[in-house]
Amino acid sequence: MTADLPSPLRLRRATLSLITLLGGVSLAVIPAATISISSRLFSRPEQGVIAVAVMVATFVGQLTFAVVLESRLSSAATERRVVFPLWLAGLAIVAALVMALNPTNPVVLVIGLPVLIAALEVGRGVSVAERLDVREIWASVVVGLGALGGVVAAFTGQTWALVPLVAGIAAATLLRSLPVAHKASRPEPAVMGWVVADTAITGVIYPLLNTMILALLGPGDAVLFTAIATVSGLLAIPLNFMRLRLLKAHSQLDIVVSAGAVLAAVVVLVLLERTGVLGFIFGGVWTSSAAILPLVLACAWRAASLPTTIPFAALRRMGEVRLLTGLRAVVSAMAFALAAIGLALHSLPAVFLGLLLAELASAVVYELARRRRVRAAEDVSVAGR
């Protein structure tokens, strides 16, 4: 697709893609900033509940993303166009306002966070899929500045530290709600059902795991698990970017850009950990534990999604939603079982190792399914001649 473009245009598109990809850091920093701020505003038991709420909010964001975006991008019989729905933008603005008026209430934070995360997920997803790069760059800057302001305020002991965070999200939501020339495609109902089921099966294991960690290992380990999963989520930014682009069309350029960004993110995270920056951000929960091993394993788990995403997106473009849902159910059950073994050993590194092994296995499963589907299509083509 991009190979047919003139070289200057291809370079400009690659540059915008890279900047938009880097803008995804703003999405990843919100959970991290929330944990950092809560570590200075709330008690340890409240922090444990908020850590689980962050995972739940991420899951809700994934489900909303599946309904609004992925179901449309997977509907092969349509133009696969997406827009940021105004109803979600309105809910996010209301949630941000309520949270800004009650910045020290953990219940308000737990209730409002899923709405804000869902708006961030969908808003960014629409911008990436539809290549609204300039708008997305500005929205990402606003979110990042809001998160930075909130963390700095928390470091100085301000009880209103959550206000800049939610204000940045609200401002970005308004930017992403600006009108566009196209209309959203109607998702095929059957496709939407399979896509949402697929997302629910996959996403539910992480809040469930963290709830079990909170119950069995205590709030400290629950916060640490969320912190490490959130920090390693920096790698998920280029991976999600690549998945969105590949759902529209296969692009070798986007794969190369994303792979390079994954490698760079791993290097950055290791440096941040070794220099004590992550310990400074997350406080005692991070510094009181040996975080380097689980962090490295978590990064490896995220990076292993790269070879998984390519055949996954190819199968989605082929319309194989039923097949993918069945495959995802199998690999999700395997991931939960392997992570649960690590939990039974009372070891966070073992939990992340289990997730890594499951991800590597899923890459093999998806690639084999893709090859089988391609061979079947070739056989039908030959028979038709």
| φ, ψ dihedrals at 84, nearest 5° | -85, 115
Mention every residue, 6+ apart, whose C-beta is less than 8 A from residue 186.
72, 75, 78
pLDDT band at 2 (very low <50, low <70, confident <90, very high): very low
Q: Which tens digit of pLDDT belongs to each residue from 144-185? A: 999 999 999 998 989 999 999 999 999 999 999 998 888 888
Using a 10 angstrom Cβ sphere, with 0-12 exposed, 13-18 middle and 19 or more buried, the burial of residue 314 is buried
Is a pLDDT exceeding 80 seen at residue 383?
Answer: no
Give the pLDDT of residue 131.
80
Q: Which candidate, 211, 203, 187, places its Cα nearest to that of 83?
A: 187
d(CA 282, CA 217): 19
Give the pLDDT of residue 382.
63
Mean pLDDT, residues 27-41? 86
pLDDT band at 346 (very low <50, low <70, confident <90, very high): confident
Let me know: does 35 contact 54? Beta carbons within 8 Å.
yes
* Tally of domains within the chain: 1
| φ, ψ dihedrals at 130, nearest 5° | -95, 5
The distance from CA 190 to its chain's CA centroid, rounded to whole angstroms, is 25
Mean pLDDT, residues 70-78? 78
Is a pLDDT exceeding 70 seen at residue 329?
Answer: yes
Give the pLDDT of residue 257.
81
Q: For the chain, what is the mean pLDDT?
A: 85
Mean pLDDT, residues 6-35? 69
Q: Which tens digit of pLDDT belongs to each residue from 283-314? A: 766 766 667 888 999 999 999 989 998 998 88
Give the pLDDT of residue 1.
44
The range of the structural domain enclosing residue 37 comes to: 2-384
d(CA 288, CA 328): 36
The pTM of this model reads: 0.73
Mean pLDDT, residues 203-225? 84
| φ, ψ dihedrals at 117, nearest 5° | -65, -40
